[in-house]
């Protein structure tokens, strides 16, 4: 490995080998050759004088790409597609004259981009399904464990650890729905020529409109797609890239939200991401256990969310049938968006699979705040015993302020129950008040909602995608 030039952290530290292969030169240029073969086969089947021998010659060199020849040729002609046409022709002298016949550069370039994005989305789908499966198991395991809930990061009515996990889970489910919609809508460009009019094929097939109508469907079928976009300029609409990157940005936003919650919970010492035996949390403070994986999720997620702006701007600024100011941007924004989301999902898999829950800490925090949350029940019990609801409400307000002052200004424990027990207006003993301190009384339908959501929505989806399950995270550093 060379140490004297920049290397992308996405490939060195974050993305899996599988995702890196999808965006590799081998994948790209082997797909180019598959497209040239598909075009030649289609033209032969539609009556052009192309022989079986030429097709077989093309097939025999579909994967052994002579990169050195293409590289040297590109130095001379300054055109990547024509350099690879030349290199392929060097290996296939009998078929040289029919390679790329009637096509423009975007025939291989744009169709390959669609194929690569489709394969990358399939890998993302596999990983997000596995993240959902891990979260579903976590939610089910902790559906009954009461925990302090927060609004505005201020203590609020309790929930359960599992119910909170369904909030993360539901957002990933929304992302999966978006992904499947976009993946299912992807079409190939086909072979439409310089401005999308198929004028070159009119010449090749002597103006036979019926025959020309068959070209795109036949190429699509050979490449594993249902259809081609019905109209285009020289390129497929760059709106397609916008839709794809928006899916990635949505996944990144969901991952970011989950990772932020985990970081806050780790600060509270209630939930902790996995921490390896020899892992170092800080170079200065040896005791620290930093949530570095969750922080990395947040960091990469911000990159993906911002990256989604690139194809939107590119799409908006394409002139007429095409301009080339999309090319350099696409080479960066699309692969890097996928490489980053791949790393994010691997991190999510790793974190969720190893989340550590500390029930005693959770209980301690909950019990410190529960007396405030129990005051409505306490008031109802006092009314049943003959008290005046309006007077009791005012007394509880006054006593709550006093207890809060003791906690905040004096650093004392919450003594609201003791203050209420000492007030004759309530007519309740301390033992009677403590009986109201069962956290399960205050979590509402949390566990029921978890059960229902998992049974009605999540588990059926996982059953439909069971062949995708079992993926383990590939964490480099």
195's CB contacts (< 8 A; 6+ apart) are 233, 234, 321
Q: Is the pLDDT of residue 275 over 80?
A: no
Q: How confident is the model at residue 476 (pLDDT cuts 50, 70, 90)?
A: low
Tens-place pLDDT, residues 141-150 = 999 999 999 9
pLDDT at 277: 45
Q: How confident is the model at residue 383 (pLDDT cuts 50, 70, 90)?
A: confident
Q: Is the pLDDT of residue 280 over 90?
A: no
Question: Average pLDDT, stretch 187-207?
Answer: 94
The distance of Cα 96 from the centroid of its chain, to the nearest Å, equals: 43
Pairwise CA distance, residues 149 & 167, whole Å: 12
Provide the token pair at 470. 């079992």
Q: How confident is the model at residue 276 (pLDDT cuts 50, 70, 90)?
A: low
Q: What is the chain's Cα-based Rg? A: 31
Range with lowest mean pLDDT among 91-105, 339-353, 380-394: 380-394
265's CB contacts (< 8 A; 6+ apart) are 271, 272
Catalytic entry in 282, 299, 327, 429: 282
Question: Average pLDDT, stretch 441-470?
Answer: 96
Tens-place pLDDT, residues 210-228 = 999 999 999 999 999 999 9
Question: 3-state DSSP: the chain helix, strand, coil percent, rounded to 5?
Answer: 65, 5, 30
Q: Any catalytic annotation for residue 100?
A: no
pLDDT at 425: 86
Q: Is the pLDDT of residue 477 over 70?
A: no
Name the residue among 457, 477, 475 with its Cα closest to residue 127.
475
Q: How confident is the model at residue 172 (pLDDT cuts 50, 70, 90)?
A: very high
Provide the token pair at 392. 């009791």
pLDDT at 278: 46
Distances (CA, A) of 43 to 21, 50, 192, 341, 349: 31, 7, 14, 39, 47
* Length of the chain counted residue by residue: 477
pLDDT at 1: 60
Pairwise CA distance, residues 222 & 224, whole Å: 6
Q: Is the pLDDT of residue 323 over 70?
A: yes
How many CB atoms within 10 Å of residue 179? Answer: 21
Token pair 């030649």 is found at: 40
- Mean pLDDT, the chain, integer: 93
Q: How confident is the model at residue 290 (pLDDT cuts 50, 70, 90)?
A: confident
Q: Is the pLDDT of residue 154 over 60?
A: yes
Question: Average pLDDT, stretch 284-311?
Answer: 86
pLDDT at 226: 96
Q: Which helix (H) or strand (E) holds 147?
A: strand 146-151
Q: Is the pLDDT of residue 282 over 70?
A: no
pLDDT at 464: 96
How many CB atoms within 10 Å of residue 460? Answer: 11
Q: How confident is the model at residue 337 (pLDDT cuts 50, 70, 90)?
A: very high
Start-to-end C-alpha separation, the chain? 17
Q: Are 311 and 333 in contact (CB under 8 A)?
A: yes
Distances (CA, A) of 368 to 120, 176, 371, 439: 48, 39, 7, 11
Q: Are 103 and 82 in contact (CB under 8 A)?
A: no
Q: Any catalytic annotation for residue 152?
A: yes
Catalytic entry in 3, 152, 267, 283: 152
């Amino acid at each position: 490995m060379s140490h004297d030039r920049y290397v992308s952290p996405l490939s060195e530290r974050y993305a899996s080998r599988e995702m890196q292969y999808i965006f590799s030169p081998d994948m790209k240029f082997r797909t180019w050759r598959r497209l040239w073969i598909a075009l030649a086969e289609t033209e032969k089947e539609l009556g052009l004088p192309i022989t079986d021998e030429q097709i077989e010659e093309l097939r025999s060199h579909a994967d052994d790409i002579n990169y050195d020849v293409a590289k040297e040729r590109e130095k001379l002609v300054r055109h990547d597609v024509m350099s690879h046409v030349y290199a392929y022709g060097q290996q296939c002298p009998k078929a040289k004259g029919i390679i790329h016949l009637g096509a423009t550069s975007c025939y291989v370039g744009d169709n390959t981009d669609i194929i690569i994005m489709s394969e990358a989305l399939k890998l993302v789908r596999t990983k997000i399904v596995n993240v959902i499966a891990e979260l579903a198991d976590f939610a089910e395991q902790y559906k009954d464990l009461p925990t302090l809930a927060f609004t505005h990061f201020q203590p609020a009515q309790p929930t359960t650890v599992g119910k909170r996990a369904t909030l993360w889970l539901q957002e990933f489910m929304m992302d999966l729905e978006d992904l499947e919609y976009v993946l299912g809508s992807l079409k190939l460009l086909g072979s439409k020529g310089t401005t999308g009019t198929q004028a070159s094929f009119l010449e090749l097939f002597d103006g036979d409109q019926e025959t020309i109508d068959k070209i795109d469907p036949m190429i699509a079928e050979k490449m594993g797609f249902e259809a081609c976009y019905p109209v285009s300029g020289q390129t497929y609409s760059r709106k397609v890239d916008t839709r794809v990157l928006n899916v990635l940005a949505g996944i990144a936003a969901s991952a970011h939200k989950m990772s932020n919650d985990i970081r806050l919970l780790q600060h509270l010492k209630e939930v902790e991401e996995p921490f390896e035996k020899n892992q170092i949390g800080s170079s200065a403070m040896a005791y620290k256990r930093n949530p570095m994986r969750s922080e990395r999720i947040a960091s990469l997620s911000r990159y993906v969310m911002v990256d989604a702006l690139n194809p939107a701007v590119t799409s908006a600024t394409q002139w007429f049938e095409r301009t080339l100011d999309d090319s350099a941007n696409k080479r960066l924004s699309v692969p890097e968006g996928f490489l980053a989301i791949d790393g994010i999902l691997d991190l999510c898999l790793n974190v969720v699979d190893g989340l550590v829950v500390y029930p005693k800490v959770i209980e301690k925090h909950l019990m410190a705040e529960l007396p405030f949350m129990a005051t409505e029940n306490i008031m109802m019990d006092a009314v049943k015993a003959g008290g005046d609801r309006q007077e009791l409400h005012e007394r509880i307000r006054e006593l709550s302020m006093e207890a809060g002052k003791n906690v905040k200004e004096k650093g004392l424990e919450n003594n609201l129950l003791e203050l209420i027990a000492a007030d004759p207006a309530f007519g309740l003993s301390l033992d009677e008040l403590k009986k109201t301190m069962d956290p399960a009384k205050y979590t509402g339908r949390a566990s029921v909602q978890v059960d229902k959501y998992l049974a009605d929505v999540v588990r059926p989806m996982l059953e439909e995608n069971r062949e995708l399950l079992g993926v383990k995270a590939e964490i480099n550093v």
